[in-house]
A and B are shown apart, each in its own frame.
Chain A
Amino acid sequence: MTYIGAEEIISPLGQNIQENFEAVRENRSGISLVPKVGFNKEDIHLAKIITLIKKNKFEFLLIDILEKVLKRIDASIIPSEKTLVIISSTKGDLDRDISNPFAPAVAALMKYFNLKSQPLIVSNACISGVLAINAANNFIKAGLYEHAIVIGCDVISDFVLYGFQSLFAVSALPCLPFDKSRSGITLGEGCSAVVVSKTREIYTSSPLELLSGTSANDANHISGPSRTGEGLYRTIKRTLEQNNVSADEIDFISAHGTATVFNDEMEAIAFDRLNMSDIPLNSLKGYFGHTLGAAGITETAISIQMMHHKLLVKSLGYSEAGTSKTLNIATENRTSELNTILKTASGFGGCNASLVFRKL
């Protein structure tokens, strides 16, 4: 069996997992209107960590999150050849060196914690986080490592903001995932982590069981989601089949829900094709914004907390159905026994990924 736990988050909502879950439980958003940051000096809604120092933010966050994770596990596994660090990120420290956005920060992380194995950087657009957790599970199941620390991190840059502005994909309001009035993403920044291991004893608090996950491509378009939800449909189907889990065993779906018109519609179609439209679902983008490489890990971390607290957290920003297939989107927090959770992600390049975790 593979375990998952020791979840941590640094975001505009807090400096650790407790602060972040507390904010989410209170339905507070990390999104604020940041003056004059747009390409044409417009004010833009962002989930920005205002207190974050400017220089080498990416490296700072990687080290900071691993310090926090250390307190949640047997720290002696860190400087060990049996431990792999996997970093999920789309753009790394692009503002530091555009030609080499990852290596300096990763070298600093290795040195700081005396890591024995070269960290792996997974860079697959917005599925990077889910894919990195799946990779961690795969490395452990194959017997190549015993533990993996999976860190997701992306910071807001002019580069990424201007890019999404050029695609007319940035919402004027804080993003409204799955809502009728949704009109695009709100960018976020943050760093989050989970620890995946074959050894239950390394965790200071009870972990969950991580089942093997999969990925699938839409084979349709590099920047537009499939109209049939093809890749998302296929990855969820494969993940459930590989684990002999049926759709009616899933208590909750932590969806991707970027709040672009086409992405959310695509997800609704895929869930409908899988007869999963009745399963309670949320998107956490209304709390954290879209944190790109960190998103899948942040959302997994919050879902783990939801399971521990027996609390289904509402999908912030949603009020009226806005997809052609109706979904069961959580409109209020409610107490709920969550035993098995499906996490999904989709991204540019037509990529999709999914994973399942459950209570021991």
Chain B
Amino acid sequence: MRSITAYCQISEDACYVNGDVVAQKNEESPDSWFKQLYKDLAIEYPKFYKMDMLSQAGFLGSEFIKQTYPGLISSYAEDEVALLFANSESSADTDIRFKESYQDKGSPSPSLFVYTLPNIVLGELAIRNKFYGENMFAVLPKFAPDFFLQYGQIMFETGSKAVLAGWLGILEGKVEVSVFLIEQNKPDGLQFNKQNVIKCASPDDQA
């Protein structure tokens, strides 16, 4: 029996953990929305500021889950947590900025270029949490619960003990982010089925 044991959703102006609002965007703040969320976490991880928005989105989602549910790190060995992420935009948000760097701003920016692949966020999560497990980043035409159900099932069947999954819709100001943890043999949580993947992750169904 597999279940979604924790989930975090971030929209353009609110952040929810397990369906409850934990932060709302302060329009008066000089900080960006993601920087506000980072500060709310009260953690020290200066690398956050180097990340692009796609990586920041995955990072924030996983850190909010860890704050309510530290078991994500402590319960598993290094190779046991698989990362399963997807979106529709690939790394387009940063791709546009990288293109501007060489078209309009004089020279191609290496610090932007290294973020022009959607799977970089998996690397950031692996570095932060010492996850040496399986990786998968897929680009789908739209949110597809079956992708998470099917590949999540596959990851468990091929040896992973937990799957940290997410939908990271980031493009030119759009924020449709959800990160959710799937575990097996846990008494709590929502059964890992289509209805609950939609509830926890669909951008059209944010809490």
Contacts and interface: CB of A to CB of B under 8 A. Distances in A.
* A and B: interacting chains: yes
Interface of A: 39, 90-92, 94, 98-103, 106-107, 118, 120-125, 127, 131, 135, 138-139, 141-142, 144, 158-159, 162-167, 212, 214-223, 230-231, 234, 238, 242, 347-351
A99 B119 contact: no
A348 B118 CA distance: 10
- A interface secondary structure, majority: mixed
Interface string B128-154: 011111111111110010010011011
Interface of B: 78-79, 83, 88-90, 92, 95-96, 98-99, 102, 107-110, 113-124, 126-127, 129-141, 144, 147, 150-151, 153-154, 157-159, 171-172
Nearest to B111: A166
Contacts of B134: 214-216
Contacts of B136: 122, 124, 131, 135, 215
A166 B110 contact: yes
Contact of A217 (B88, B131, B157): B131
A322 B122 CA distance: 31
B118 A103 contact: no
Nearest to A223: B114
B123 A351 contact: yes
Nearest to B115: A222
Interface centre among A142, A219, A234 (most CB of B within 10 A): A219
A217 B136 CA distance: 11
A167 B117 contact: no
Contacts of B150: 139, 142, 144
A296 B151 CA distance: 21
Given A159-B98, A216-B132, A103 B141 contact: yes
A98 B96 contact: yes
Scoring A91, A120, A164, A231 by chain B CB atoms within 10 A of each residue's CB, the highest score goes to A120
B41 to A, nearest CB: 21
A142 B118 contact: no
Contact of A123 (B78, B98, B99, B139): B139
Contacts of B114: 167, 222-223, 348
A242 B115 CA distance: 33
Given A98-B95, A123-B117, A39 B135 contact: no
A348 B139 contact: no
A98 B141 contact: no
A139 B99 contact: no
A231 B132 contact: yes
Contacts of A218: 123, 126, 132
Nearest to A352: B135
A62 to B, nearest CB: 14
Contact of B113 (A123, A125, A167): A167
Given A118-B141, A123-B139, A219 B158 contact: no
Pairs A-B, 3 closest by C-beta atoms:
A349-B123, A163-B113, A217-B126
B77 to A, nearest CB: 12
B85 to A, nearest CB: 10
A124 B122 CA distance: 9
Given A219-B130, A220-B127, A230-B132, A125 B119 contact: yes
